Each structure stands twice: as C-alpha cells, then as structure tokens.
Structure 1
Amino acid sequence: MLHLVFLEPRIAGNTGNAIRMVAATGARLHLVDPLFELDEPRLRRAGLDYHDMAHVVVHADLGAALAALPDARVLAFTARGTVRHTDVAYTDGDVLLFGPEPTGLPDDVLAHPRVTARVRIPMLPGRRSLNLA
C-alpha cells in the first residue's frame, strides 16, 4: 500500500478529498502537525462518509512520521523535482510526501537524507500549483 504524507496541510477540504481517496484505494494518509482540527466542517464535508473507512494517522513532526515508516522510500513531490511522476516505478510501501499548499516542501525537507527522489508533475507555464486535492 502507498503512504501519503501531508506536511503541515493548510486547506481542510483538500485533506478531506485525500481521506476519500485513501479510503477508496487502501492507501494510508499521514498528517504532520501543525494542522487544522480533524472535525473541521470543510474536512468532514469533502471526505463525505469515508472518514471511518480511511486509515489516517497524525504525527507530531516529520521525523515521527518517517520513523513510523522506517523502510519506505520517500518520494518528495515538488515543482522543483528532477524526476517526472510518470518515470517513477512506484512500489508497495512508498511514501508520497507533499508540502503545505501555499509553499510546497521547504529546502530542508527536500534535502532530508530519507528523500530518495524529488518528483514533479509537469504543469503548463503560469500555473501556480496543482494543490493537494
């Protein structure tokens, strides 16, 4: 199964959509503090009735999240990625790491020794972000 790690997510609705996605696919969602309250109405609304079917874990910091997944490859998704998302051979247990919606992953996280690849999803010029949703 894949593990999605959202570092300090800011938009509750996006995380709600991710909850729905992990419930439907069997992936696991790891949220790294600080974040909003998990009973936030926009999160509940976007996740529909999938919350009880999703495996969601909250971690105090990125170190704790990665420690919970000690043998996993960590693929950091960033606009500054060097590998296209279609060129990655995803394997069971991979961690797909995403940063806060307004800023993306900071440089210190991209340089983390556990990050095995910086992955990008190509966008047309002039587009800011794909967002987590």
Structure 2
Amino acid sequence: MAKLNIVLYEPEIPSNTGNIGRTCVATGTRLHLIEPLGFRLNEKAIKRAGMDYWSDLDVTTYVNYEEFLEKNPGAKIYMATTKSRQTYTEVSYEPDCYIMFGKESAGIPEEILVNHPDTCVRIPMIGETRSLNLSNSVAIVLYEALRQNNFDHMKLEGDLHRLHWD
C-alpha cells in the first residue's frame, strides 16, 4: 500500500500547515514538520484550517533537518523548488517516498538542494511568478504522486443520486 510522506521545512504560516494537514488526512499521507516553525502547533489558525481532522493526522516534528535525515535513513526525497530543471510530472514517485517543500518566504535552502539535483522538481508557472501558495503546491505534487501510485487505498468512486422531477 502506498504511504506517501509530505515534509515541510520550517513552515511559517499556520493556515498553510493546517490546510496541508487536512490534505494529508484525506489522502492517508504522513506529515513531517522540520523546526523551527513560524507558529505553535496548538494555534487556532492551524486547527481552523485543519478543521476537526487534525487529531487524525499522522504527524512527526523534528528539531532540524539533520534529525529528520537521522530518523528517516535511506528515504527517497523529492524536493519541490522553483530552481529545478525538471517538472513534478517528469519523475516516478515511489509508494513510500518523501516530498519536501520549503518555507513560504525562502523555499528549501540551496545548500540542501545542491545535494539532490536529480530529485528536485518544479511546478511550471508563467513568467517571473515567485511561487504558488504552499498548500496549493503540496496538493498539486501530492496528487500526481498518488495518481502514479493508482490512488492506492483511496476511494475512487462517489455516490451521485439523480434527482427525479415528477
């Protein structure tokens, strides 16, 4: 069964992290938070954005990037960055891979990116747009990884009932 992982490197905006947490719950994805965080995890803004799903979230917090690497040895990590030469659709996401996103104001530090050039991915944009909103970016890349893994363990059909007019 696919068990993808989203990693947020020093996230700054609580509502983004709350939205991402909700997306992780809806997709059965683990969330990893690398400190320092720009907020406290008990802030109302996180709970408001994550709604009542936050208690169902599989989330782990790390003191720094080094602790994250130490506790996840051998992890295949894709890094979302505007500096990548390949798009997020040009790689094959393994069922247990990690997809990392940087903080809203600065992204993933270049000293980390240079060690992972083959697993850096970008979302195409027009012109000099700096970046998309963090929670939107996570949803875009995560759902591509889920699609590539055939939406393993996810509900694929809805239950639409037609209205009948007499």
Give the TM-score range, shorter chain: over 0.9
Q: Partners in 2 of 1:2 and 1:43 — Cα distance?
A: 22
The higher relative CO (CA closer than 8 Å, separation ≥ 6) is in: 1
Equivalence for 1:9: 11
Fraction of identical pairs, as percent: 39
How many correspondences in the alignment? 132
4+ residue stretches of structure 1 with deviation over 3 A?
A: none
Structure 1 stretches lacking a partner, 5+ long: none
1:67 CA displacement? 2.0
Equivalence for 1:25: 27
Larger Rg: 2
Q: Partners in 1 of 2:83 and 2:128 — Cα distance?
A: 15
More helix per residue: 1 or 2? 2
Structure 2 stretches lacking a partner, 5+ long: 136-166
1:116 CA displacement? 4.7
Q: Aligned with 1:82: secondary structure?
A: coil
- Tell me the TM-score normalized by structure 1: 0.93
Q: Partners in 2 of 1:116 and 1:45 — Cα distance?
A: 37
- Tell me the TM-score normalized by structure 2: 0.75
Equivalence for 2:64: 61
Q: Aligned with 1:83: secondary structure?
A: coil
The one-letter code matched in structure 1 to 2:86 is V
